[in-house]
Structure 1
Amino acid sequence: MSLSEAQQELRALHEAGTLADSYPELPALLARLDDAGLDYAGRLLVRAGAADVLAAHPGTPVVRIAVSGRSTTAGLVPALTAQLARHGLLLIPYAAGSGGYVQDLADPASDVYAHRPDLTLCVLDPLTVWDRLRAPWQPYDVALEAERQRLLLAELAAVHAAHAPAGATFVLNTVPLLRRFTHQLTGLAQRAELGAVWREFNADLLRMSDPAAGVAVLDLEPLTTAGTRADDPRLGAYAEAHCTAELLAGYAREAAHLARALRGDAKKCLVLDLDGTLWDGILAEDGPERVRAADSLRAGAFASFRRTVEQLASQGVLLAVCSKNDSEPVARALAAHPDWPLGAGDFVSVVADWGSKADGIHKIAADLGIAPDAVVFADDSAFEREVVRAGVPGAAVVPLDAEPARHTEHLLADGWFDVPSVTDEDRGRAARYREREQRERHQARAKDYQTFLRGLGIVVDTGPAGTHETARIAQLSLRTNRFNLTGTRLTGAQIQQLGADPDALVLAVRAADRFGDDGVVGAVFARRDGDRLLIENMVVSCRVLGRGIESAVLAGLLHAACDAGLSAVEALWRPAAANEAQRAFCPAHGFETVSGTRDDGGAIRYRHTLDRLPSVPAHVRLRLRLTDSPAQEVASCTPSSI
């Protein structure tokens, strides 16, 4: 088999012994590989060694994964290695022996738990359930054994929750139903009953999925219905390998998407080309009225793609356009075309000019206040894709082609927008960016910034987080970089554990103003320590920075601590990816550095003795409470009361 150009480059790095040194450049190289190429890459990358990569690049984000299963899953580690490397992540694996997954997962002292995994993969192969049945059997027997297996898996998930590291996720999967079992039943009615039983089994597995509680279930049915064969009887009989390499490769891809989602690495904005991407035709040649959107079979394929885009937008994915066209015809086409399921109002930013698309994406990101690497760019032009790959490092580039019927498949292949759970704040994200535009227009009319702030009518409500807010707070913790005092990332499961700790406080920061309700925009993680309150972390969404909300919350906490008779409030700052500017946040509010407390991670501890309290900014109305009970409310801070 001849190697592709990208495979040859990878082999050259391997032979030169520089794979580890080149690890940050690998995502761009791996993006050029097909499935066979990724299999080749995985086998090479396993040899590079995680220790060597970390020695060369200590800041490489790491994912620790333990793999356990009912049968041989040897091919999974190379596949996981390649898939995670595609996303800039480094796998540190532990692979348990085949067949002993129950013992491995039920024993808190096993090597699975000693590995301290972020993800524990309990791989269920197609013989799950069947190897415990004896002939003759009927659908009723299958239903009983399937339920026994489900209950066993639920017990293993509970053990994992109790003994795995905080925030670790236990990963199961649905189980393909093989024809060689269904067709052992000659009665068509019984065969149909078996199909129903099996689908109920998989449905029960899927209902176990709760990423916030540390359980996720990968659905393998989309892989098998797309043509991936689940098993090879020869490998099963002679090597105890009951999953095909293709199924394991697909599983690894989905597991990598899950790992990225749990880290909070979802992309935020989909930037789309127009000609050949959203419609059939060339706008500059055909004109706004003649580009075709739905009135032919080929144009109907574009319409189907746009419906996919609309579905993504409904869940909080921001839509933008970057097109090499004149702006006026683009505006006319977006606003007036009769066949569009999407209108001009669905796009939060439109760049239509004849400049570089890399520059256009940087402009879109700046307009939206997001990092350029939070963008997914989709274009049918190979040239434009390469321009963006080179000019916007970290952005995801979707390789569309001349066949619009496959646009949706290409766009969804890598789960760029996957999150553990879609929140109300996600669904309202586009509306909030439009509210931001209104604020900016209001600011432009104000004579100065303080006048602008006073005119906003900002109301901030800070209090104990509700269970319905856990997913949003986890999202803020995982994805907020600029205002994240310690850089600490917490999953939904970890936040739930904090909520159960009687000494811990998890406060949600909610904000609204005259232009709309921003929902949960921040969180405070604190702990009562004797007569002190320790602020372990504070995160605030970058979209509300500059409005004084963070200052109002900190001032309110100091007043609440004083009202409660505490002697001091302490806070931590630790250097992280982009939070250097927040080193001065606590000192600016009267905190002093506690000498000799900097730890190995560079954390600085600050203390406020509550003798001189800062005021809540005059333009913010703050309501703050530390407990759910109004009778125990310790602070209600407004500008007039402080």
Structure 2
Amino acid sequence: MTTTILETLNWLDSDPSTARHLSAAGKLDKITDETLVPVKIAVLRNFTLEPTFAPCLKVKSYAAGLKPEIFLSGFDSAPQEVFMDGSDLYQFQPDIVAFAMRLHTLAPALVGSFASLSPEECDTQVESVLNRVVSFVRAVRERSSAVILVNNFELSAIPSYGVLDAQSSYGQHVVIRRLNALLREQIETIGSAYIVDVDHLISRIGYDSAIDNRYWHIGRAPYTLALQRRLAAEYVKFAAALKGKNKKCLVLDCDNTLWGGVIGEDGMDGIKLGATHPGSAFLEFHAAIIDLYHRGVLLALNSKNNEADAMEVFEKHPSSLLKTHHFVAKRVNWSDKASNLREIAQELNIGLDSLVFVDDNPFECEFVREALPQVKVIQLPADPTRFAAELYDKANFDTLALNDEDRRRSTMYQAEAQRHELKQSVGSMEEYLRSLEINLTIAPVSAFSIPRIAQLTQKTNQFNVTTRRYSEEQVTAMANSEDWLVCYAQLKDRFDDAGIIAAAFVHAEGDMAVIDTLLMSCRVIGRGVEQALLSSLAHAGLKRGCTRLLGQYIPTPKNGLVTELFPSNGFEPDPERGDGWWKLDLRGPLAESPNWLIVTDELNIEGSMSEVEE
């Protein structure tokens, strides 16, 4: 992210008015930054969102490292857009389609005259809304591979039955909550479709701060700027996850961040960390951080301290929820924090733009912003009771799926530290690799592996030859096509089961097998996985009758790691296809997997190249 983008965002944050959102969006659109990832977001709505929602979406997108293009449908035009194949929506070719609907237009009786409805009529209204919205979503799913977002419905400001509303199974709020629950159940069955919890967003800021009833009646424009900003941020969390711009590692200061006070001066008994105020606020922050840990976010320390003093808190303080084992990297020293962050990124083999640095000190935060503009910096407020909410709102660790590999990520990095120790004790690299007892399974895509494969395409930036991003729906479609082979590699060794760590997408073009995507987690670089996977793809292509295996390298600011992948594995330039294309003649001798790997190759290309196995 360029300094100009940061300056514009800071200028907006100092006065987040309507006028500044419009101006900031215009300024940001004019900036050229090759690190920004393009994203197309379409919003179908039945109420007015002009003039500020598109600028809000743009601002939040740029802040997340995205280059947005926005399609805002006409008022209440969803039916025309979703059911017509040649509509403006489908010509736009969106990456994300969001449905922003209010009950006030879909089912006015559920909002304005609820007390007149019988229980049977309530059920009929709920079913009608559900069928209508789900039909919109399914229509998009049939015609587009875009990720689909569906807003749920806010509760009414004043329940129709007053205090009795909460006492009845057919109270207004109960019925709307039931509708939201049924909507979630239906959307869950549709591939790459997700609920956006607008009711929760409204509860965060309060109904009176979120909804302006006067503007609803004047121009059907109920959402205040405060709610539009939060809704835009929520949409962009999905977009960032889809485009691989979400964050991976939370780097934390210690003093006045993880506890109140300075451990080197106040000692274990003097710091604020415990069940009563103000220590309880820091304990709440610990709990929020541990939630992220269990979602697969890596935790690291970056603190100016004597290491022994700081680590004693995690090891011995009776109230500390965070323990030493939660952290995969530690820089507790007197070095500058920017240098420490560089070392942490290098140690974990992730980009600087995957880091979120959290500190209470304005000087340290500004120093890191200036030195490392790629790093997301969160300066904590003075009030520690706001720490957890600040982290939730600004960190951007969201993903489109959560799997076993995510939950075990920190354990995997700790296993990597054990491998490093082993590496130092053996005589040669091959001896080290043999001693790992690496078992590699290469298999065609299956129903259970699709979420992880899609997630890898969305998150992998460095070892990725084309950096094409795919949703679960798109992976499923390719897997079920006769012209495609979608496969994955799963690895385990004497220290850990790393799970699914690589994937490849190959499609047939006559007598050629063309690699569309080949990617691998950086955690397993240097173990020969890429050679084994390319060998497997070559043999699979040969069995299908192909004479050549083609691969393309599309350079990005991050994937220089794979510049030599194809030539170093026997591929030659393919001038017919142009720059970046490589070819391997399958009629000659084919390379085998490295002999230190124990490979189980389950690829089966009889009949179609690939199909999802249930």
Question: TM (normalized to structure 1)?
Answer: 0.88
Moved more, 311-320 or 142-151: 142-151
Moved more, 215-224 or 377-386: 215-224
2:21 to 16, 25, 42: 42
Q: 2:599: which partner in 1?
A: 622
**Alignment pair present for 1:282 and 2:259:** no
Deviations 1:594-621 (Å, cap 9, x if unpaired)? 23211xxx44141323311213211111
Q: 1:103: which partner in 2?
A: 80
Q: After superposition, where does 1:9-28 map in structure 2 within 5 Å?
A: 25-27=4-6
1:380 to 360, 365, 368: 360
CA RMSD of aligned residues (A): 2.6
Deviations 1:396-436 (Å, cap 9, x if unpaired)? 11121231111101111125110001111111100000110
Q: Give the CA deviation at 1:274.
A: 0.9
Residues 108, 559 of structure 1: CA spacing in aligned structure 2 closer, same or farther, 3 A cutoff? Answer: closer
The question of whether the paired residues in 1 share the 8 Å contact of 2:275 and 2:283 is answered with no
Q: 1:536: which partner in 2?
A: 516
Deviations 1:100-120 (Å, cap 9, x if unpaired)? 222222222221222221222
Q: 1:346: which partner in 2?
A: 326
Residues 474, 88 of structure 1: CA spacing in aligned structure 2 closer, same or farther, 3 A cutoff? Answer: same
What is the CA–CA distance in structure 2 between the aligned matches of 1:290 and 1:24, rounded to whole Å?
41
1:461 to 423, 434, 441: 441
Q: Which runs of 5+ in 2 are unaligned?
A: none
Q: 2:502: which partner in 1?
A: 522
Q: 2:347: which partner in 1?
A: 367
What is the CA–CA distance in structure 1 between the aligned matches of 2:165 and 2:344, rounded to whole Å?
61
Q: 1:555: which partner in 2?
A: 535
2:271 to 278, 287, 291: 291
Deviations 1:236-292 (Å, cap 9, x if unpaired)? 222122333332222112111221122122211111111111112211101234423
Q: Give the CA deviation at 1:393.
A: 1.8
Residues 348, 212 of structure 1: CA spacing in aligned structure 2 closer, same or farther, 3 A cutoff? Answer: farther
The question of whether the paired residues in 2 share the 8 Å contact of 1:129 and 1:146 is answered with no
2:143 to 163, 167, 171: 163
What is the CA–CA distance in structure 1 between the aligned matches of 2:247 and 2:165, rounded to whole Å?
50
The question of whether the paired residues in 2 share the 8 Å contact of 1:126 and 1:178 is answered with no
Q: Give the CA deviation at 1:34.
A: 4.1
Letter of the structure 2 residue corresponding to residue 27 of structure 1: L
The question of whether the paired residues in 2 share the 8 Å contact of 1:483 and 1:542 is answered with yes
Deviations 1:362-387 (Å, cap 9, x if unpaired)? 12112211112211111111111111
1:62 to 31, 38, 46: 38
Q: 1:119: which partner in 2?
A: 96
The question of whether the paired residues in 2 share the 8 Å contact of 1:481 and 1:577 is answered with no
1:314 to 294, 305, 315: 294
The 3-state SS of whatever aligns with 2:16 is helix
**Alignment pair present for 1:417 and 2:397:** yes
Letter of the structure 2 residue corresponding to residue 103 of structure 1: Q
The 3-state SS of whatever aligns with 1:351 is strand
Q: After superposition, where does 1:138-157 map in structure 2 within 5 Å?
A: 138-157=118-137
Q: 1:269: which partner in 2?
A: 249
**Alignment pair present for 1:235 and 2:211:** no
Residues 561, 604 of structure 1: CA spacing in aligned structure 2 closer, same or farther, 3 A cutoff? Answer: closer
Deviations 1:300-337 (Å, cap 9, x if unpaired)? 11111101111110111111111111112122222111
The question of whether the paired residues in 2 share the 8 Å contact of 1:558 and 1:610 is answered with no
Deviations 1:123-168 (Å, cap 9, x if unpaired)? 113514442568532454233212211111111111111223x3x1
Q: 2:555: which partner in 1?
A: 575
Q: 1:3: which partner in 2?
A: none
The 3-state SS of whatever aligns with 1:285 is helix
What is the CA–CA distance in structure 2 between the aligned matches of 1:353 and 1:626, rounded to whole Å?
50
**Alignment pair present for 1:71 and 2:51:** no
Q: 1:193: which partner in 2?
A: 171
1:610 to 552, 576, 587: 587
The question of whether the paired residues in 2 share the 8 Å contact of 1:471 and 1:492 is answered with yes
Letter of the structure 1 residue corresponding to residue 98 of structure 2: L
What is the CA–CA distance in structure 2 between the aligned matches of 1:38 and 1:628, rounded to whole Å?
58
Q: Give the CA deviation at 1:353.
A: 1.2
Letter of the structure 2 residue corresponding to residue 604 of structure 1: W
The question of whether the paired residues in 2 share the 8 Å contact of 1:527 and 1:536 is answered with yes
Moved more, 80-89 or 309-318: 80-89
Letter of the structure 1 residue corresponding to residue 148 of structure 2: F
Q: After superposition, where does 1:441-480 map in structure 2 within 5 Å?
A: 441-480=421-460
Letter of the structure 1 residue corresponding to residue 63 of structure 2: R
The 3-state SS of whatever aligns with 2:427 is coil
The question of whether the paired residues in 2 share the 8 Å contact of 1:378 and 1:399 is answered with yes
The 3-state SS of whatever aligns with 1:98 is coil
Q: 1:504: which partner in 2?
A: 484
Q: Give the CA deviation at 1:181.
A: 5.2
The 3-state SS of whatever aligns with 1:557 is helix
Deviations 1:25-56 (Å, cap 9, x if unpaired)? 22354156549516443211344484x44xx4
What is the CA–CA distance in structure 2 between the aligned matches of 1:582 and 1:420, rounded to whole Å?
26
Q: Give the CA deviation at 1:533.
A: 2.7
Deviations 1:35-92 (Å, cap 9, x if unpaired)? 9516443211344484x44xx4466322212222112111311211222122232321
**Alignment pair present for 1:172 and 2:167:** no
What is the CA–CA distance in structure 2 between the aligned matches of 1:126 and 1:232, rounded to whole Å?
16
Question: TM (normalized to structure 2)?
Answer: 0.92
The question of whether the paired residues in 2 share the 8 Å contact of 1:67 and 1:95 is answered with yes
The question of whether the paired residues in 1 share the 8 Å contact of 2:151 and 2:197 is answered with yes
Q: Give the CA deviation at 1:531.
A: 4.2
The question of whether the paired residues in 2 share the 8 Å contact of 1:486 and 1:573 is answered with yes
Q: Give the CA deviation at 1:194.
A: 2.4
Letter of the structure 2 residue corresponding to residue 487 of structure 1: T
**Alignment pair present for 1:215 and 2:193:** yes
Higher relative contact order (CA 8 A, sep 6+): 2
The 3-state SS of whatever aligns with 1:287 is helix
Deviations 1:424-468 (Å, cap 9, x if unpaired)? 111110000011000000000111212111111111100112222
What is the CA–CA distance in structure 2 between the aligned matches of 1:383 and 1:228, rounded to whole Å?
34
2:417 to 422, 434, 437: 437
What is the CA–CA distance in structure 2 between the aligned matches of 1:538 and 1:99, rounded to whole Å?
42
Using the aligned pairs only, state the percent identity: 27
Residues 402, 544 of structure 1: CA spacing in aligned structure 2 closer, same or farther, 3 A cutoff? Answer: same
Letter of the structure 2 residue corresponding to residue 37 of structure 1: P
What is the CA–CA distance in structure 2 between the aligned matches of 1:426 and 1:354, rounded to whole Å?
32
What is the CA–CA distance in structure 2 between the aligned matches of 1:501 and 1:572, rounded to whole Å?
21
The question of whether the paired residues in 2 share the 8 Å contact of 1:128 and 1:175 is answered with no
Deviations 1:458-499 (Å, cap 9, x if unpaired)? 111001122222121112112222221222222222111111
Q: 1:92: which partner in 2?
A: 69
Q: Which runs of 5+ in 1 are unaligned?
A: 1-21, 634-642
The question of whether the paired residues in 2 share the 8 Å contact of 1:108 and 1:159 is answered with no
**Alignment pair present for 1:203 and 2:181:** yes
2:282 to 298, 302, 326: 302
What is the CA–CA distance in structure 2 between the aligned matches of 1:451 and 1:361, rounded to whole Å?
33
Residues 79, 562 of structure 1: CA spacing in aligned structure 2 closer, same or farther, 3 A cutoff? Answer: closer
The 3-state SS of whatever aligns with 2:449 is helix
Deviations 1:327-350 (Å, cap 9, x if unpaired)? 121222221112111211111111
